[in-house]
């Protein structure tokens, strides 16, 4: 079992994530989103945020061979496909919050 501490940029580089069918759908409410984002934005610049443990399962080639839309990036770019076993809410929320913050910041500069 691989266990390592990774930054978000390293985590999202050369990895492809899928939520297995047996996992529940995204369920965080607005309150949970605000709490999580507040934790990130109030963090001092010299501190790292411990997001918690994410549990991933590497996908067998016999399974990802069926992913016609994603197979090109797995093969040509050597991305490693993983199922998200635990941590879906945090993993889905983090890039979404960053994107929304960037969009909101870009819109406020035009005003």
pLDDT score of 109:
55
Question: Taking the complete model, does pTM exceed 0.85, yes or no?
Answer: no
Contact yes or no for 87/53 (Cβ under 8 A): yes
Judge whether residue 98 has pLDDT over 70: no
pLDDT score of 83:
95
pLDDT score of 61:
96
Q: Among 83, 95, 85, which residue's Cα sits nearest to residue 37?
A: 95
């Amino acid at each position: 079992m691989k266990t390592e501490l990774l930054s978000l940029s390293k985590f999202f580089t050369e990895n492809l994530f899928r939520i297995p069918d047996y996992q529940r759908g995204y369920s965080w409410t607005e309150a949970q989103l605000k709490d999580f984002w507040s934790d990130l934005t109030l963090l001092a610049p010299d501190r790292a945020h411990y997001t918690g443990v994410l549990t991933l399962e590497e996908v067998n080639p016999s399974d990802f061979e069926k992913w016609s839309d994603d197979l090109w990036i797995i093969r040509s770019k050597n991305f490693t496909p993983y199922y998200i076993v635990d941590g879906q809410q945090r993993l889905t929320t983090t890039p979404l919050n960053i994107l929304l913050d960037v969009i909101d910041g870009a819109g406020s500069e035009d005003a």
